Chains A and B, each alone.
Chain A
Amino acid sequence: MSTSATAEALLALQRFGMGPRPGSIAAIASDPRGALLAELDNPPAAAASALPSSGKAVRTVADANARRQAKAIVATRAQEEAKKQRAADAPMMAEDAAPKTSEMGEKTAAEAVPDPGRAIYLEEAKLRTEAALHADIGFTERLVWFWSNHFCISALKIRSMSGAYEREAIRPNVLGRFSDLLLAAENHPAMLFYLDNLGSMGASSVAGINRNRGLNENLSREALELHTLGVQGGYTQDDVISFANALTGWTWVPPNSSPEHGGEFAFNPRMHQPGAQTVLGKRYEQDDVEQGRAVLRDLAIHPATATHLAAKLARHFIADAPPPTVVEAIAKAFRDSGGDLKETAKAMIAAADSWSLPPTKLKRPGEWVVAMVRSTGITKVDPGRYTGGVALLGEPLWSPPSPKGFPDDEASWIDGAGRRLDITNSFAEREADKVDPNEIIENVFASAVSAEVKQAVGQAESRQQALALLFMSAEFLRR
């Protein structure tokens, strides 16, 4: 295995994959680019899961909330009875206006009916993280993570659905057509909830008139600005309003209203603004759910969308400031293929810059943690520990600070690099008796680390320290 073959294999695993595992460099060194392309043509099947659908998840949480409330009321009543009894015994005591449920009643109820949302979230986190640990290369997983962040929702707002949203809307579509991915994301109840579309109704719709309510622009604006055209994409405030009108009626079956279908997508024609809408100069005559879909299909193949997505892909995978030529090459592949995301991903592999630019990207916390764990050969995840760790590092799973998702540049993350040392240190402490840092250098990195790293590892005072230094080296932090 030549040095250059090793270097290219390592770059393939780092830049486009989840990082090297024992033996993975040797497995692809004969043709690293071919190995990436082969993964796109034969992506690993998603792990079978017994996890609930998003609808089922949100119903489960709603059921638990209802049961907890009932318990709280019962417990409060019992408390009030006891209090009345005491008041009768001591009639001088003033009686407060009783709240519907007391603090004590709520506490009793919370213990009796724990929140199932956390358990679902942790199981989803485990499934997703183990998929990243099990992948041979992990290009597909990286694309899932990328698109999930692009179309982010927030577990802070709808935790029960956060993992299912990724499995249902993102994962099946990352190597398909962007229009399918876009439609799947925008009409998913988690997105409609997150970006406030559930109650948006046309001012002249039946429900809008009867309830004297109207439009919410949020989903429309973020779909244009963040998901498709980009902020420079040439849309106006009128486009935002017209598109928001087209999306009225995109809502869900309220979780408590149906034991079978609560929490699932529903189009409510009574909320839909009647009449044609004009978006980006094109008139949409449809008068139902197809109106919003038609706008989305056009946005999906708009040239501004191609450029916006290409720049974002290049910034995530290749460099914080990617050369315009590589962005254009990716955008061209997107345009020429009508938004085929597999072809678009292949264009990144084909770009010469992908293989010549130095590894200056700072891995985001989740990527880095996964790469660290992969290098040790560990494939099981303690989801509480994992989600706690990435949260401490500023990247809480499925909980970005805004609809823009987590940032993707070095400046945003480098000051948190020091905190990674604490995470590494506790990980190294736990694993030091099982993991040999020199074996990671030889078998995982095929010795392709700098002489300085080898020296630092060789001279470390303990195996724990050696591991911490290795995991904190630029070889691990950057790609």
Chain B
Amino acid sequence: MSPLPHSVSRRAVLLGSGALFAWTQMPRLARAEGRDPRMLVIILRGALDGLGAVAPVGDTGWFALRGDRALMLDGATPALPLDSFFALNPAMPSLNRLYKAREAAIVHATATPYRERSHFDGQDVLESGLTRPGTTESGWLNRALLALESEGRVNPQGSRAIGVGAVMPLVVRGGAPVMSWVPQNLLPASADTQARLLDLYHHTDPKLAAALQARMQLAALGGAGGMDDPMAAGDSPAMPPLARVRAYFADAAGTAGRFLARADGPRVGALGFVGWDTHINEGAAVGQLANLLSALDGALAAVETSMGDAWRETVVAVVTEFGRTARINGTNGTDHGTGTVAFLAGGAVKGGRVIADWPGLKTAQLYEGRDLKPTTDLRAVLKGLLRDHLRVDDTALATSVFPDSADVAPIADLVA
């Protein structure tokens, strides 16, 4: 089986962290209920402007805040009404369709517990699941998998891991065996060479042994890769034009969907998209942000399409490290902020609604007078999904998965 375009990996490394990282066990409790749930986490690195993605058109302060750059129902590029208060960026017709079909929900004015404005610390908190940055080697998704009773590997012949990602994101690092995958497009070393190297590592370097072993079962899921030698062709980074970004998002997400859909494929996956740090000429309606959201919209559609029937049992959670300033900055962009949105999509999502305890947009209502104030702890959303979809138990959620989060109750009823 080789459903994968070979060219993806070159773009993967150019655009960063697009590799799929996935877990190939079957959650026991959910299986006992006759379900076979799938979950995909997409991390938007760089901080998504939640207000530019899902505009509070019913808030009288909205136009005052952003003026001509406020997405409006009657603007030049009219926003898509979600309910009487919120409207979706028109670059996201697929998400809009899913929302109308009650297969997508939006959480607004949400944030992790991080309240500073460093991308890297913010991503640390988002991915580690801890309340503070920089103190862990594992991510919440990995620890949730550890807490999950497993019914064994989906494919006993396959290994826990099938390939190699360039840089593994923190959210999936940790003790639970996770495969990482970037499409193959080099002539691989022979099985014999790999076996000899593995033997050498077993005697000299256990960590390298584990890394190589993880990769050696490649054939189980990814199929044979291409045989071309990309080093001969050479490549260099060029400005990724819109079409390339769009194709990359769709390829990466679609490939993740194909893996997750397989009966013997992984059940939980994660991937990341970069590029959301829109300091200059944000272009929420037309421009940079609209283009990125359009690419993300295409990625969601690609997951839906590639998953086929398994889409019914799927939750895709799209999250980012924090939001951006409520106001436009001096260069038609937005600077680092706080509250933002999370997108939930999938046949298993109880959709068709925007979940928000709206904080308001008057200066006094903004966080530190500048950012959308977070009123929903993103951990409550993630805990709700992990509990009700994958069946991670409450105690684990409050202690090992999101430590010190006993006071953050999981949001119920996110999944159908």
Residues of chain A at the chain B interface (Cβ within 8 Å): 115, 117-118, 121-122, 125, 154-157, 159, 196, 199-201, 203, 208, 213-218, 221, 225, 231, 237, 382-389, 391-399, 401-402, 404, 407, 410-419, 421-426, 450, 452-453, 456, 460-461, 465, 468-469, 472-474, 477-478
Contact = CB atoms under 8 A, between A and B. Distances in A.
Interface in B1-58: 9-10, 13-14, 16-17, 45-46
B167 A394 contact: yes
Nearest 6 pairs of A and B residues by beta carbon? A384-B234, A214-B330, A394-B166, A418-B215, A401-B16, A422-B186
Interface stretch (B86-94, B195-203, B297-305, B311-319): B195-203
Given A231-B118, A392-B186, A410 B214 contact: no
Given A402-B119, A415-B164, A468-B193, A426 B186 contact: yes
Interface string B219-254: 000000000011111111111100000000000000
Given A384-B235, A426-B229, A196 B196 contact: no
Contacts of B163: 418
Contacts of A387: 234-236
B333 A196 contact: yes
B320 to A, nearest CB: 14
A190 to B, nearest CB: 14
Contacts of A201: 330
Nearest to B178: A415
A225 B121 CA distance: 10
Given A118-B236, A237-B368, A411 B192 contact: no
Interface residues on B, range: 35 or more
A456 to B, nearest CB: 5
Contact of B14 (A125, A221, A396, A404): A396
Contacts of B135: none
Interface of B: 9-10, 13-14, 16-17, 45-46, 116-121, 133, 137, 163-168, 173, 180, 182, 184, 186-190, 192-194, 196-197, 199-201, 203-205, 207-208, 211-212, 214-216, 229-240, 274, 277, 279-280, 329-333, 335-336, 368
- Identify whether the interface residues of A are mostly helix, strand, loop, or mixed: helix
Contacts of A391: 10, 13-14, 235-237
Given A399-B237, A425-B193, A218 B335 contact: yes
Contacts of B194: 421
Contact of B120 (A156, A393, A404): A404
A423 B187 CA distance: 9
A193 to B, nearest CB: 10
B230 A474 contact: no
Contacts of B211: 414-415, 417-418
Nearest to A404: B120
A422 B330 contact: no
17 contacts: A117-B238, A200-B330, A203-B330, A213-B331, A216-B333, A384-B234, A385-B234, A388-B233, A391-B235, A394-B166, A401-B274, A411-B137, A418-B164, A422-B189, A468-B193, A473-B200, A478-B205
Nearest to B11: A391
With most chain B CB atoms within 10 A of its CB, the pick from A225, A385, A421, A473 is A421
Given A155-B237, A412-B167, A419-B182, A453 B333 contact: no
A411 B9 CA distance: 20
Given A411-B137, A418-B215, 13 more contacts: A125-B236, A155-B236, A156-B240, A157-B239, A199-B280, A216-B280, A231-B120, A231-B133, A415-B211, A419-B186, A421-B189, A421-B197, A426-B231
